[in-house]
Amino acid sequence: MALEKADDQAIKPGDSEKEKTDWAGEAKSIGLLLLAVLAFHSLVAKPFYIPSVSMMPGLLVGDRLIVSKYAYGWSWVSPTFHILPRMEGRLFGSLPERGDIVILTPKDQSSDYIKRVIGLPGDTLELRGGQVFLNGEAVDQEAQPDLQLPIDANAPCGSREFPGLRGTDAVGNTICSLPIVRETLPNGVSYDIIDLGPEITDDIAPVVIPEDHVYLLGDNRDLSADSRVSSPLGLNGTIPWENIGGRAEFITFSLDGTTSLNPVSWFTSFRSGRAGTSLRPDRDDSAAE
């Protein structure tokens, strides 16, 4: 009986040695989780933030969106952090379609840009008075009613970017009245652009797009450092397809720029009506070339 009592006491929890935390195992688990997230962002999809006005009216400063990384295959630019050397070609590659909104890395930069694909390999592209011509044919443009965009901290309608366009709507709200043109590409894809008037980039001499290259424009035609712009911040002509990192799919949410340390602002700063908006352009197959 004494032996049985001693055995009972030996297995009491209070007398057992406490388990030690396996810090090496915890670190390994966290590392594997981070690798899985990076792999997903590099190969499947990643979030993207809109920092500029170059893709208005469709994309506003403060929009958060999802980019699919597999849409055109993978290349040196696919990893979330551009750690691979610049190499030609793509794995399981395919060209974007005209009208796709894509994420890309310029030829001599490491930052990501977002623009719309207009010209494909073999196309001859030019601009005359702000109108795009593809292979000698004018891309259809149709004036639309002005867009009355509500003004907020992320869309202030500054006098430098949008001179004279601030106003009020019928109920007295401050708005930015933006001139909109509906552009339709030869494949039937349509989208809205902003044309503020004559600019030096409205006229571009004919360019023959090389093999495996694309020509990209911003939808805010007068405020976009795209393929027309030769400068340290511009795209300086056509872009190799391996520099395209993915296709913009949809907006997840949008912030108006009033977020602060006050938790209430985390909710009040959300712009209504933008979450879930598709970024795939409208298409009229009957109008396609």
pLDDT 10s digits, 92-110:
999 999 999 999 999 888 8
**Domain tally, the chain:** 1
Q: Is residue 247 part of a domain?
A: yes
Q: Is residue 60 part of a domain?
A: yes
Asked if residue 286 has pLDDT above 80, the reply is: no
Cβ partners under 8 Å of residue 153, min gap 6? 256, 257, 258
Asked if residue 289 has pLDDT above 80, the reply is: no
- Residues 50, 205: Cα–Cα separation, whole Å: 30
Q: Is residue 14 part of a domain?
A: no
Per-residue DSSP letter, 2: H
Q: Is residue 32 part of a domain?
A: no
pLDDT band at 190 (very low <50, low <70, confident <90, very high): very high
Asked if residue 54 has pLDDT above 80, the reply is: yes
Q: Is 190 helix (H, G, I), strand (E, B) or coil?
A: strand
Confidence at residue 135, expressed as pLDDT on a 0 to 100 scale: 97
Please identify every residue annotated as catalytic.
54, 115
- Residues 286, 182: Cα–Cα separation, whole Å: 17
Confidence at residue 30, expressed as pLDDT on a 0 to 100 scale: 87
> Who has greater pLDDT, 10 or 209?
209
Mean pLDDT (whole number) for 222-235: 95
Confidence at residue 18, expressed as pLDDT on a 0 to 100 scale: 56
> Who has greater pLDDT, 214 or 16?
214
Report how far apart, in Å, the C-alpha atoms of 274 and of each of 52, 101, 185 are. Answer: 17, 17, 25
Q: Is residue 22 part of a domain?
A: no
- Residues 238, 76: Cα–Cα separation, whole Å: 18
Confidence at residue 6, expressed as pLDDT on a 0 to 100 scale: 44
CB-CB contact of 115 with 204 (8 Å): no
CA 119 to chain centre: 19
Q: Is residue 13 part of a domain?
A: no
Q: What percent of the chain has pLDDT over 90?
A: 78
Q: Is residue 211 part of a domain?
A: yes
Q: Is residue 30 part of a domain?
A: no
Q: What is the pTM of this model?
A: 0.88
Asked if residue 272 has pLDDT above 90, the reply is: yes
The residue segments making up the domain with residue 129 are: 38-83+97-287
- The CATH number assigned to the domain holding 195 equals 2.10.109.10
Confidence at residue 22, expressed as pLDDT on a 0 to 100 scale: 81
